[in-house]
Copies of this chain bind each other. A is one copy, B any other.
Amino acid sequence: MKITDAATQLEALGNPTRLAVFRLLVRAGEAGLPVGRIQQRLDMPASTLSHHLKTLCATGLVRQTRERTTLICTADFKLMRGLVAFLVAECCAESACAPADAATRAA
């Protein structure tokens, strides 16, 4: 994973609203959640939510699939795992939270 990709994903999650959206989607699991339902839950204007969803989709952290008239959003767990792995392996070298070889690779 490139550091710029990681930064992009972290930036996407770095907005309180988007983190709340993403958390909602993660908790919804593979089934996901329609846009309208997210809007209800978080009580925000549709256009604002759409804007944030667009950002999340652009990073790949969220994906959308059509189901009849509604758009279902789902968190991309695989990508999320990759991001966590980056934080652990690339960033948590030496003295913390990493397998022993992380520091070696980091050189």
Q: A interface vs B, CB < 8 Å?
A: 3-4, 6-8, 10-16, 19-20, 22-23, 26-27, 29-30, 77-78, 80-81, 83-84, 87-88, 90-97, 103, 106
Which residues of the other chain, B, contact A91 by a CB distance below 8 angstroms?
22-23, 26, 80
Q: State whether A16 touches B29 (Cβ < 8 A).
A: no
Number of copies: 2
A7 to B17, CA, bound (A): 9
Across the interface, A30 reaches (CB within 8 A) one of B12, B30, B81, B94, namely: B94
**Residue contact B93 to A29, C-beta cutoff 8 Å:** yes
Residues of B within 8 A of A92 (CB): 26, 77, 80-81, 84
